[in-house]
Amino acid sequence: MEILTWTYILVGLSFALYIGIALYTRASSTKEFYTAGGGVSPLANGMATAADWMSAASFISMAGIIAFSGYDGSVYLMGWTGGYVLLALLLAPYLRKFGKFTVPDFVGDRYYSNKAKVVAVFCALFISFTYVAGQMRGVGIVFSRYLEVDINTGVIIGMMIVFFYAVLGGMKGITYTQVAQYCVLIFAFMVPAIFVSMQLTGNILPQVGLGGTVEGGEYLLDKLDGVLGDLGFAEYTSGRKPVADIFAITLALMVGTAGLPHVIVRFFTVPRVKDARLSAGYALVFIAILYTTAPAVAAFGIYNAINTVADQPVDNLPAWVENWRKTNLITINDKDGDGLVRYTPYADSNELNIDKDIMVLAAPEIAKLPNWVVGLVAAGGMAAALSTAAGLLLVISTSVSRDLFRTFSPNMSEKKELRIARLSAATAVVIAGYFGVNPPGFVAEVVAFAFGLAAASFFPVIIMGIFSTRMNKEGAIAGMISGLVFTMGYIVFFKFIQPELNTAEHWWFGISPEGIGSIGMLINFIACFVVSKSTPAPPQSVQDMIQEIRIPRGAGQAHDH
């Protein structure tokens, strides 16, 4: 069968499965809408967390960045993996014990202030909309290639699917849908990786294949270094980013993780604190399967792509190039008119431009794998993008209905709150779709901005809220506002106001917009500390509550203060 037929079958079956699960597990109360009733098993929650975590950025874009940036792309691997460990070990158990399942809810109670809670709501919305823009862009890319529609049309189709099961099912529907999506995305990522590893190096494990030898007995990475060096590029295994920027991006991604609202809420869908810890462990294993494979997928993909396109006749290019040229995500311009595709690092002579976001999706076609594998990857890409988009949309709807409306209208009925939550999610889908059509960058770059904003706004407030009894509401408000405003201002200046200045020599301290969240976080910490020290201490009841949270009572029911 043709690729298009396989794609329709596999994507159609996966969508039918997701929608069926959403209908079967439809939320009938606010507790089911927000936290799936708190009755999810640790194993299922681990899978759902992994699917929530591994967005379009992980599935589609991360290997693409590593493919084109080599060593420099490893910041995303280190930052996102280290960040999850930080979240699971340092924050999740305490937040679960505190009993508040949204960051604004935690901020409002811990800092005994509706003002602090409202500031946290706007931070959560800002982060979530930035993050979801990257997911909708990923949805559009997958649809544009495999269903042969325009990217904008693809985004609209994705919006309708997410709308259906996020708005209808709430957290209960999303959790079990994400279990299915994890199974689809990990199968779709691993099958072509194993095929290509066998094809190039003879190793069934891609992780081993990355250090294996290719035809001729030369090591794959040595061969890749040589090929790129001959074309004029930096060696694949060498880095060109400033050390300060690598450190800053990695740190921003790590601590930004700890403030991501859609992951934190996952630890409230299980019955006990012990189960929260266990599900975090399961999730780490499930995440590691993809993250340890991504570098191999990246190296295999760029190696095959260069060997099949560079210096080849323009009128006799492989089928995969022609397929992707229809989407305008690969462009070829024979500038010197010699009839060959020249691939160089110099903009004035480079004739081949490959969008970073297509490498994983195109890899099976480049390697000439069976058509069903290509269709499977399309289904996996959709699963990754839609699972995270759904989690983020739920955070948005929860922030509006529970953290905003209920704050100012505490006697609102549960039925009305559920209606507002669904309406908020529907509105969020439309706004997310707009950002998917008009994205501020490629998928992983946009997601990196979201992590930077989370690092600069939430991380210090959560950490100091758990581990400092002296931290008060004035410090929290000053910290969140100063960190977010600085980080957002820096990103907007270099990405939108003066993009021509977005180079290492113009960055502050040599730190790019992707890593500036680290500086924003430091500004937040300083503001929290200074303002808290110069204003009254929190009430004694709040200080006692913090001390109680830190007592490791193990597996008891979470306290709701």
Question: Measured in whole angstroms, how far is the alpha carbon of residue 370 from the centre of its chain?
Answer: 29
Query: Which is nearest to 509 in space by CA: 244, 234, 201?
Result: 244
3-state secondary structure 179-241: HHHHHHHHHHHHHHHHHHHHHHHCCCCHHHHCCCECCCCCEHHHHHHHHHHHHCCCCCCCCCC
Find all residues with CB under 8 Å of 543, minimum gap 6, and list them: 469, 537
**Whether the Cβ atoms of residue 170 and residue 432 lie closer than 8 Å to each other:** no
Write phi, then psi, for 270 (nearest 5 degrees): -105, 160
CA distance 385 to 381: 6
**Whether the Cβ atoms of residue 120 and residue 103 lie closer than 8 Å to each other:** yes
Tell me the pLDDT of the chain (561 aa) as tens digits: 787 788 888 888 887 887 787 777 665 555 555 555 556 788 888 888 888 777 777 887 888 888 888 888 888 888 888 887 887 777 777 777 777 667 788 888 889 888 888 888 888 887 777 777 777 777 777 777 766 777 778 888 877 777 776 666 555 667 777 888 888 889 989 999 999 999 999 899 999 998 888 888 889 899 888 888 887 778 888 878 888 889 999 999 888 877 666 677 777 777 777 787 788 888 889 988 999 999 999 999 888 888 888 888 888 888 888 888 887 788 888 887 888 888 887 777 788 888 887 888 888 888 888 888 888 888 888 777 777 777 777 777 777 877 778 777 777 787 887 788 778 878 888 887 887 777 665 555 677 787 888 889 888 998 898 888 899 999 999 999 999 899 989 988 888 788 888 888 888 888 988 899 999 999 999 999 999 999 999 999 888 888 887 765 554 444 444
Domain definitions of the chain by residue range: 3-302+364-444
pLDDT at 39: 66
Tokens for 445, please give them: 């770059």
Helix then strand then coil, % of the chain, to nearest 5? 75, 0, 25
CA distance 258 to 267: 12
CA distance 416 to 118: 20
**Number of Cβ atoms within 10 Å of the Cβ of 371:** 16
* Tokens 């690598």, located at residue: 246
pLDDT at 533: 93
pLDDT at 67: 87
3-state secondary structure of 332: strand
Write phi, then psi, for 352 (nearest 5 degrees): -125, 125
Find all residues with CB under 8 Å of 26, minimum gap 6, and list them: 168, 169, 170, 172, 173
Q: Is 544 exposed, middle or buried (0-12, 13-18, 19+ CB in 10 A)?
A: exposed
pTM of the model: 0.79
CA distance 50 to 269: 14
Q: Which stretches of 30-150 are DSSP H helices?
A: 30-35, 42-53, 56, 62-69, 74-86, 92-98, 103-110, 114-146
pLDDT at 33: 57
**Number of Cβ atoms within 10 Å of the Cβ of 561:** 12
DSSP code string of 442-460: -HHHHHHHHHHHHHHHTHH
- Please report, for the chain, how many H helices and E strands are present, in that order: 26, 2
Write phi, then psi, for 219 (nearest 5 degrees): -65, 140
CA distance 135 to 144: 14
Q: Which run of H or E residues covers position 8? A: helix 3-24
pLDDT at 495: 81
Task: Look up the CATH architecture of domain 3-302+364-444.
Answer: Up-down Bundle (1.20)
pLDDT at 558: 46
Q: Helices 459-467 and 540-549: crossing angle, nearest 10°?
A: 90
3-state secondary structure of 511: coil
Query: Which is nearest to 449 in space by CA: 63, 128, 59, 107?
Result: 128
Using CA atoms, how far residue 329 sits from 110, 341, 344, in Å, is: 47, 16, 18
CA distance 262 to 399: 11
Amino acid at 533: K
pLDDT at 522: 95
Tokens for 37, please give them: 């009733």
Query: Which is nearest to 263 in space by CA: 412, 60, 474, 462?
Result: 462
pLDDT at 561: 45
CA distance 397 to 402: 8
